[in-house]
Amino acid sequence: MLGGDPPFVGTTPQAILARKLTDRAPSLKPLRDTVTDKLEQVVLQSLARSPADRFTTAELFADALAAAQRGNTAPTVRVRLGDKPRRMLPIVGAVFALAMIAAVAVTLMLRPEGGVTLNADHVVVAVFRNATGDTSLDLIGERIGHWITYGLQQAAIPVTPWDLALQSSDYVRIEAEAGRVRDRARALAEETGAGIVVSGAVYLAEGDSLEVQLNVTDAILSRLLGSIDPFRVSRASENEAIATAQQRVTVFLASRFEEEMQDFVPLETIATAPTFEAYQDFKEGFRLHHGANIEEAIPHYRRAFESDSTWAAPLLRLTQVLVTLSRNDSSRIAEYDSVMVVLERLWGRMSPYERAEMEYNRAVRNGDSEGVRRALRRAMELAPRSPAFFNYIGVTIIDHRPREVIDLLQTVDPERGWLRGRGFPFYWNRLVQAYLMLGEHDQVLDAIERAYRLHPDKSDYLLFTEAWALAALGRVRSLERVMDEVDSISAEPGPARRTYVRVVESLHAHGHLERSAHVLERVMQWFESRPNEERESRGHRDWYGRALIVAGRNEEANAVFQTLVEEDPEDMVRRGFLGFVAATRGDSVVASQCLTWLDGRAIRRSTTEWMYWSAAIVAALGDRERAVEFLRGDDFHQFIDRSSIELSPLRGYEPFEEWLRPKG
C-alpha cells in the first residue's frame, strides 16, 4: 500500500469534501489540497494495518498536518495504539470532517500575528550574539552570520542576502533593547518573510577557547527544527569557528531542502571565511555605499578584495557603485569593465546567488533584456524579498506593465526589512509611477497620503514624489504649496533640481504648461538665483539645460550642453541632449554629427542607450517613424519616462503611443 496509491485515491469522502470546500473558498485551495492529501494517505496507511496497530483520529490529524507543513509526500505515524481494536468508520468520518479545520489551521500557522506571511522554504541568518564580554570580539557575530549566509547560497538554499539580514538584525536588536520585541527570532522572521531563522551565540569557554552555539528555528511553529551540537575552537582560531559554523548549518539545512543532499554536501565548494581585515573594509564600504556619498565606498571595497582576493562579494558591490556613478561620469564605465574581468576569474568560487548577480551585470552591460529578467528571476528564487525583487519591478515598469508592478508591490509590506530603510523611496516612486501610467489618479494621491502616514519623518522625499504627481494631474495650486515646502527643506540642491525639472517636464507632457506658465517661471528663477559656485557645478548645469529646453530657450540650452560636451566628450547623455537641441533649433549639421558619434558607440559599447538618444534626435528632425524603430530596439532602457522633454516630438504619434501603452 505504501509503494503507490490504490486506484480509488481521489474518490474517498475526504477528497470529495475537499473539492466542495474549494469551490466555496478558492483562495484556500492549495492548502486544502495539501492537507487533504496527507490525511487521505495516513488513513489509507492505517486501514492497511491490523486493528491493534491503527491510530486515533487525533493522531492521524496531527501526523497529516505535520507532513503537510513539511511538504512530505509519504507521512509516517509515530504513535501507535495499544492492543485495543478500533472501528474505522468513525475515524474516516472524523478525518474528512477535520479537513476544513486543517486547512484553516495551516493558514493561521503560515500567517503569524500582524498578517505577515512567512515562507517555510526561506532562511534568514541573524547576527550571532557576542556573549564573551570581550568587546574586541564584537565583530565575530557578524562574520559568522555573513559566512553562514554565503554557505547557504553555495548550496542554493533560498536565504536573505547578508546585507539585508544585517539591516533587519540591527533593527530587531534596537527594538528588543527598547522593550518592544521579546522574541528576536520571530521578529527577524517577520522582517524578512523567512520561515526559518538561524541564530546563535559565542561564549568564552575554559582554557581560553571560544564556544559557538547554533540554533535553527521554525518561526512559523515557534520551535527548534533540530539541534546542532555546539563546538569549541581556540581563541586564536576565529576563522576556524566561522568556517565550522558555516559547514554545520549548511549540512543541517541541506538535508531539509535537498533530499539527495542528505548524505552529502559538496563542502569543497564552500570557500574559507574572509579575513578579519577584509570583512572590516567590506562592512565600512557597505555603510558608505548606502550613505550620502557612495563614491567613498570604492577604496574600502577595493581594499577588502586586496585583503582577500578569493572573495567576490566586495567586487560585486563595487560594480553596483560604478554603475550608479557612470550615469553622470562615463569614465566609470571602463573601470566597471575592468572589475568585471576580475570577477569572471572568480566565477568558480561564487555562490549561485552571486552568479545570478553576475549574470545580471553581464546582461545589463550587453543590453540583453531577457537575460536581465532571467537573472533577476533566479536571484529572486535564491533570495526572496531581496533587491532583485525590486530590480525586477524596475524592469517590469520599463516593459510598460504597470498593473503587474502594482500586484507585485502589494505582495510586500513597505514597513518591513529592506523597504523600511534604503528601499523606501523606490517602493513609493514605483507605485505612484504605475498608477500614473494607468491613469488612476485617485490611487496616486491615496498612495502618497498613505506614505505620509507611514513615514512622517521622511516628508522631504515624499514631497518630491507628490510634486511630480500633482504636476502630471495638473493640480497647480496644490503643486505650488508643495513647492513652497520643497524650498523650505532642501538643504542639498540635487533633489530639488531633479524635482523642479520633472515638474515642468510633467506639466509640459500632460498639456498643463500653458495655464501654469508662472510655475515654469518660478523654476527658472530658482535655477538662476543659486550661488555662483553651485551654478558652475556640472550637476546644476545638466538640469538647468533641461529646464531651458522646456522653457523654449534653445539657444541658451545649446550653449550649456556644448560646454558640457567639451568638458567630457565621452558622455552619451550630454551628447544626446546636444544633438536633440541642435535638431530642435534646425541645425541638422550638428544633429547629424551627434548621430554619427552615437552610431559609433553602438560597437564600442554593448549598450542600447545610444538607440534612445538616436531616437530623440531623429524625432526632433521630423523622422518619427525611424525614431520609433530605434525605441523598439531599445526594450531595456532604464531612463524611459514619457514625460522627458526629449520625447516631446513623439507625443501624439500613434506608433509611439502604442509602444508606450500599458501591456499588463
What is 171-214 written as a DSSP string? HHHHHHHTTS-S-HHHHHHHHHTEEEEEEEEEEEETTTEEEEEE
For residue 414, give the 3-state DSSP assignment.
coil
Least-confidence region, from 65-79, 187-201, 396-410: 65-79
What is 20-76 written as a DSSP string? HHHHH-GGGHHHHHHHHHHHHHHHHHHHTS-GGG---HHHHHHHHHHHHHHT-SS--
pLDDT 10s digits, 271-287: 456 666 777 788 788 88
How far is Cα 431 from Cα 465, in angstroms, rounded to an integer? Answer: 11
**265 or 272, which is more confident:** 272
**231 or 330, which is more confident:** 231
Please name every residue paired with 209 in a beta bridge, in sequence order, or none if there are none: 205, 234
Is the backbone of residue 187 left (phi > 0), alpha (psi -120 to 50) or beta? alpha
Contact between residue 39 and residue 103 where contact means Cβ atoms under 8 Å apart = no
Q: Residues near 517 by Cβ (< 8 Å), separated by ≥ 6?
A: none
The mean per-residue pLDDT over the stretch 251-261 comes to: 59
Which range in 155-164, 329-338, 521-530 is most confidently predicted, on average pLDDT?
A: 521-530
Contact between residue 630 and residue 659 where contact means Cβ atoms under 8 Å apart = no
Please name every residue paired with 124 in a beta bridge, in sequence order, or none if there are none: 197
pLDDT band at residue 25 using 50, 70 and 90 as cut-offs: very low
Please name every residue paired with 233 in a beta bridge, in sequence order, or none if there are none: 210
Share of the chain above pLDDT 70, in %: 73
The mean per-residue pLDDT over the stretch 70-79 comes to: 37
| The predicted structure's pLDDT at residue 274 | 66
pLDDT 10s digits, 289-309: 877 678 899 999 999 899 888
pLDDT band at residue 649 using 50, 70 and 90 as cut-offs: very high
| The predicted structure's pLDDT at residue 641 | 67
pLDDT 10s digits, 92-129: 333 333 333 333 333 333 444 445 688 888 999 999 99
Nearest residue to 10 via CA among 40, 46, 34, 47? 40
Q: What separation in angstroms does the CA of 585 have from each of 254, 508, 580? A: 65, 19, 9
pLDDT band at residue 258 using 50, 70 and 90 as cut-offs: low
| The predicted structure's pLDDT at residue 263 | 35
Q: How many residues does the chain have?
A: 664
Q: Chain-wide mean pLDDT for the chain?
A: 76
| The predicted structure's pLDDT at residue 270 | 39
How far is Cα 539 from Cα 527, in angstroms, rounded to an integer? Answer: 12
Please name every residue paired with 210 in a beta bridge, in sequence order, or none if there are none: 204, 233
| The predicted structure's pLDDT at residue 530 | 92
* DSSP code, position 10: T
| The predicted structure's pLDDT at residue 422 | 62
| The predicted structure's pLDDT at residue 369 | 79
The mean per-residue pLDDT over the stretch 464-485 comes to: 88
pLDDT band at residue 436 using 50, 70 and 90 as cut-offs: confident
For residue 123, give the 3-state DSSP assignment.
strand
| The predicted structure's pLDDT at residue 299 | 94
| The predicted structure's pLDDT at residue 325 | 82
Task: Indicate the burial class of 21 (C-beta count within 10 angstroms; 0-12, 13-18, 19 or more).
Answer: middle
| The predicted structure's pLDDT at residue 262 | 35
| The predicted structure's pLDDT at residue 459 | 64
| The predicted structure's pLDDT at residue 94 | 38
Q: Is pLDDT of 479 > 50?
A: yes
Nearest residue to 630 via CA among 664, 582, 595? 595
Q: Is pLDDT of 411 > 80?
A: yes
Question: What's this model's pTM, rounded to 2 decimal places?
Answer: 0.56
How far is Cα 177 from Cα 197, in angstroms, rounded to an integer? Answer: 20
Least-confidence region, from 23-27, 211-215, 535-539: 23-27
| The predicted structure's pLDDT at residue 74 | 36
Q: Is pLDDT of 19 > 60?
A: no
Q: Is pLDDT of 379 > 80?
A: yes
Q: 205 φ, ψ to 5°?
A: -115, 175
Q: Is pLDDT of 5 > 70?
A: no
How far is Cα 548 from Cα 270, in angstroms, rounded to an integer? Answer: 56
